[in-house]
Amino acid sequence: MRQVSVLGVGMVKFGRYPDTPVEELGAEAVVGALADAGLAPAAVEAAYCGHVSQGMTLCERVLDRAGLAGIPAVNVENACASSSTALNVAWLAVAAGQHDAVLVLGAEKMRRGLLPLTRLAEGDLEGLLGKTIPALSALFASRYAADYGLTARDLAAVAVKNSRHAAGNPYAQYGRPLTPEEVLASPMISTPLTQLMCCPTSDGAAAAIVVSDALARRHASRAIRIAASHLVGGVCIGTRDVPNATARAARQAYERAGIGPEDVDVAEGLDYTAMAEILLYEDLGLLGKGEGVKAVRDARGGRTGHFVFSPGGGLLGRGHPLGATGVAQVAEIVWQLRGEAGARQVPNARVGLTHAAGGVITGVDDEASVTIHLLSR
Amino acid sequence: MRQVSVLGVGMVKFGRYPDTPVEELGAEAVVGALADAGLAPAAVEAAYCGHVSQGMTLCERVLDRAGLAGIPAVNVENACASSSTALNVAWLAVAAGQHDAVLVLGAEKMRRGLLPLTRLAEGDLEGLLGKTIPALSALFASRYAADYGLTARDLAAVAVKNSRHAAGNPYAQYGRPLTPEEVLASPMISTPLTQLMCCPTSDGAAAAIVVSDALARRHASRAIRIAASHLVGGVCIGTRDVPNATARAARQAYERAGIGPEDVDVAEGLDYTAMAEILLYEDLGLLGKGEGVKAVRDARGGRTGHFVFSPGGGLLGRGHPLGATGVAQVAEIVWQLRGEAGARQVPNARVGLTHAAGGVITGVDDEASVTIHLLSR
């Protein structure tokens, strides 16, 4: 397998775009990524697009809108891991020598309200009784509180941190730092999670240009190496007490990259709630079991332990257009590792991690796909 | 890149399954493919699932139902080329050495009536005026009739041939040979195409086990070599007068495989109408321009020229559950090349081709993705 790098990234400001076609959001991100990479459209050999519910052949439609019609296109769906899975497939195509320069994108326009969960229509009792994602995360919070003494104020601290990062990110949906009081006073979604401890509903798009080592060397100052691109499947969200797929994916990715969790400076993961972010510190091996809440209390300058989590604002602050999130996370890490992250720059960031997970959480089990990407300069 | 083979295939009888979950159709095909390959479920390292509109993470849901939970899963969508694109990604994963044995599947339950075309909602004038797939194919038929003297009876002959093949295929939706009179007398859909010259609405699933050379050698009598797996993008359906993506894809695939169109014994393509099949003879390079209609008139024993097209009944006879079609085509070719095709067996078939194409056909352009697979024993 060949060495693979990210040469350019682009995204649109996440938010709500009721009057803009999803193809236009996608094309804007693509044009931005090409400009950032300094590549002509003709250099792009294939495209991989992650989305969940944007209709048939979104990739082809975006390529057409962006002036890249006529190249091989693959649409990939893996729920919240859609565009990170697309990146995994794109990485493989370049690593295997099939292509030298490919485009990865993610784009999504979300409906209003709760996500339609696939199995509800088939008489799934847990789903019908309200096993939504925020409710499930609230159950984890209750358990974590019983085990390790988590309080609502700790959860609010995560939301406050991510809002501060988002306020420094021109691409984030939320542009203003929140106070703990505001977070705690926002409407209760599922005790102890208030609205501002849950990610918003968002539209958006993000894109990345992924290239071979030979191409990357010509642009050495801008290329960020993909040290590992790893996809696993398994039980992920439901049962906290079994070794879960996120932990397994992270362990295997660290091993492949020859990078340890202690080396990670910046990380973006699926902080769909403040509780989810704290659990990720531990599942990704960045902190030990039960240490997440202590790290939140001891946090200084956005650092939770030795790393900064959600430097771009995370899902809580940047927003979460499902199919766009995976590539948006990578865009943030690329900016951080290049030192181009402006007001939110983490000093001297050299190693970054992104995590995404997607699956059906209702039903008997919790089958999910998890992706881990390790990036380094 | 390593040599890759198909070791086992399975499918469910295509038809209408209003009371069967799509996961169950998919799982039945998966279990069949594993049994056909003689592999234990534990040998399967990853799964790639093509579907168009079956909700989030169908692959993970089918794996769970089939007892294969916990392996990496990728959902791929490329309209009618969804599961053939999934096969292209799976082929790459094995060819690159990432995996030794993977599962490819396609599954779809179709709604009633015309497909919802993505751009209709966005004020696409051609779509609103009725540029559906049968109407577009009817325009091609009128043009072909003007250029080369095609008659409605020629189109009926294709539908009759495919119904005869389907009648010998226990997995086909249609089980009875049609007469030319029946085909011509069926309701007019878009002149000159009658209902029985258009593919039906279908539910179904198909699966294949794709393996490395080392594994294939242990099962040499059953393994069928993938001589080329090729994906291209481009203008495909709309403009007959420009070199189209199907022709380009076929040319490149023949070159990669070192196989010429004259070597092809059996082929399955997207015969979504009888006209589409005749055009495919020519676009795939199997016959020269304008020779398709002559070959239909001179056909003997199902052979159109030197090859048998749609030996399993094609879309017209086997049915067309969008996401399932690509892998179902490969299943048919595998059975043919192994000599296991029963009543519809083409004697001494050694080289087979499958073609699929998917894209948005309304709007200014006709962006599509096209896959070609060449298989040989």
| Chain A residue nearest residue B96, CA to CA | A96
| Chain A residues near residue B21 by CB distance under 8 angstroms | 122
Q: What is the pLDDT of residues A47-71, one digit of tens each?
A: 999 999 998 899 998 998 999 988 9
Task: Look at the block and give the residue holding tokens 């006073």.
Answer: A185
A60 lies within 8 A of chain B by CB: yes
Q: Is B231 on the interface with A (CB under 8 A)?
A: yes
- Nearest-angstrom CA–CA distance, A329 and A310: 9
Return the structure tokens found at B348: 């001494």
To the query of whether residue B80 is one of the catalytic residues in this protein, the response is yes
A273 close to A310: Cβ distance less than 8 angstroms: no
In total, the C-beta contacts within 8 angstroms joining chain A to chain B are 150
A357 reaches B (C-beta below 8 A): no
Q: Which of residues 10-29 of A touch B (CB under 8 A)?
A: 21
Of B78, B359, B367, the CB nearest to A74: B78
Q: What is the pTM of this model?
A: 0.96
Which of A55, A60, A93 is opposite residue B368, by nearest beta carbon? A60
Distance from CA of B69 to the nearest CA of A (A): 6
CB nearest to B92's CB, from A98, A232, A367: A98
With residue B308 as reference, give the H or E element that holds it: strand B307-309
Q: Which two tokens stand for residue A10?
A: 């682009």
* pLDDT value of position B177: 97
Matching residue, tokens 């044995």: B101
Reported ipTM? 0.94
- Whether the link from the prior residue into A192 is cis, omega within 30° of 0, is yes
- Collect all residues of chain B within an 8 Å Cβ-Cβ radius of residue A49: none
Nearest to A72 among B61, B69, B232 (CB): B232
Q: What is the pLDDT of residue A91?
A: 98
Token pair, residue A375, equals 């990036």
Would you call A246 an interface residue with chain B, using a CB distance cutoff of 8 Å? no
Q: Do B233 and A60 touch (CB under 8 A)?
A: yes
Average pLDDT, chain A: 92
- String of b and e for A24-43 (b: at least 16 CB within 10 Å)? bbbbbbbbbbbebbebeeeb
The Cα–Cα gap between A282 and A288 comes to 6
Looking at CA atoms only, how far is residue B304 from chain A in angstroms?
A: 30
Question: Which of the following is catalytic: A51, A165, A230, A320?
Answer: A320
Best residue in A1, A4, A74 for a mutation probing chain B (most B CBs within 10 Å): A74
What one-character-per-residue DSSP string does A239-301 give?
A: -TTSPPHHHHHHHHHHHHHT--GGG--EEE---SBHHHHHHHHHHTTSS-TTHHHHHHHH-BT
Which among B60, B92, B235 has CB closest to A92? B92
Vertex B269, ends B105 and B138: CA angle to 5°?
Answer: 125
CA distances from residue A19 to A25, A107, A174, B122, B350 in whole angstroms, order as listed: 11, 15, 20, 11, 54
The stretches in chain A having pLDDT less than 50 are 118, 120-121, 241-242, 364
Select from B51, B74, B85, B119 the residue whose CB has the most chain A CBs within 10 Å, as the one to mutate to test that interface.
B74
Collapsed DSSP state (helix, strand, coil) of residue B300:
strand
The single-letter DSSP state of residue B112 is S
For residue A310, which phi and psi values (nearest 5 degrees)?
55, 50
Spell out the per-residue pLDDT of chain B, length 377, in tens. 999 999 999 999 999 999 999 999 999 999 999 999 999 999 999 999 999 999 889 999 899 899 998 899 999 999 999 999 999 999 999 999 999 999 999 999 998 776 655 454 455 666 677 777 888 899 999 999 999 999 999 999 999 999 999 999 999 999 899 999 999 999 999 999 999 999 999 999 999 999 999 999 998 889 999 999 999 998 655 555 445 789 999 999 999 999 999 999 999 999 999 999 999 999 999 999 999 999 999 998 889 989 999 999 999 999 999 999 999 999 999 999 999 999 999 999 999 999 999 886 655 456 789 999 999 99
- Interchain CB contact of A87 with B (< 8 Å): no
Q: Which residues of B touch A96 (CB under 8 A)?
A: 1, 92, 95-98
pLDDT of residue A118: 47
According to DSSP, the residues that pair with B4 across neighbouring strands are B212
CB contact (8 A) between residue B74 and residue A61: no
* Beta-sheet pairing, B224-235 with B367-376: antiparallel
Of B75, B77, B234, the CB nearest to A56: B77
Residues of B in contact with A360 (CB under 8 A): 56-57, 60-61
CA distance B206 to A23: 31
Q: Does the distance separating the beta carbons of A367 and B69 come in below 8 Å?
A: yes
Q: From the candidates A80, A198, A199, A236, which is the catalytic residue?
A: A80
Lookup: tokens for A74: 């693959």
Asked whether the beta carbons of residue A70 and residue B234 sit closer than 8 angstroms, the reply is yes
Counting runs of H as helices and runs of E as strands, what totals does chain A give?
Answer: 13, 13
- How far away is chain A from the Cα of B77, in angstroms, using its nearest Cα? 5
What pLDDT digit, counting tens, does each position of A333-367 carry?
999 999 999 999 999 999 999 999 988 665 545 67
Where does residue A213 rank: exposed (0-12), middle (13-18), buried (19+ CB within 10 A)? middle
Closest to A86 measured CA to CA, from A119, A115, A52:
A52
Nearest partner of A86 among A208, A202, A204, judged by Cα: A208
Percent of chain B having pLDDT more than 70? 92
The pLDDT score that the predictor gives to residue B133 is 83
Asked if B60 has any chain A CB less than 8 Å from its own CB, the reply is: yes
Is A175 an interface residue toward B (CB < 8 Å)?
A: no
With an 8 Å Cβ cutoff, is A61 touching chain B? Answer: yes
Interface test with B, best of A45, A54, A77, A246 (most B CBs within 10 A): A77
| DSSP letter assigned to residue B351 | E
Cα–Cα distance, B157 to B173 (Å, whole number) = 19
Q: How many CB atoms lie within 10 A of CB A1?
A: 12
Q: Looking at residue B114, what is its pLDDT?
A: 65
CB contact under 8 A, B233 and A76: no
Segment A279-330, tens digit of pLDDT: 999 999 999 999 999 999 999 888 998 999 999 999 999 999 999 999 999 9
Question: Chain A closest CA to B33's CA: distance in Å?
Answer: 21
A199 is catalytic: no
In angstroms, rounded to a whole number, what is the distance separating the alpha carbons of residues B188 and B263? 37
Q: Please enumerate in sequence order all residues whose Cβ is within 8 A of that of B300, keeping only pairs 6 or more positions apart, or say none.
A: none
Among candidates A122, A360, A367 on the partner chain, residue whose Cβ is nearest the Cβ of B21: A122
Residue B150's Cα: distance from chain center in Å? 25
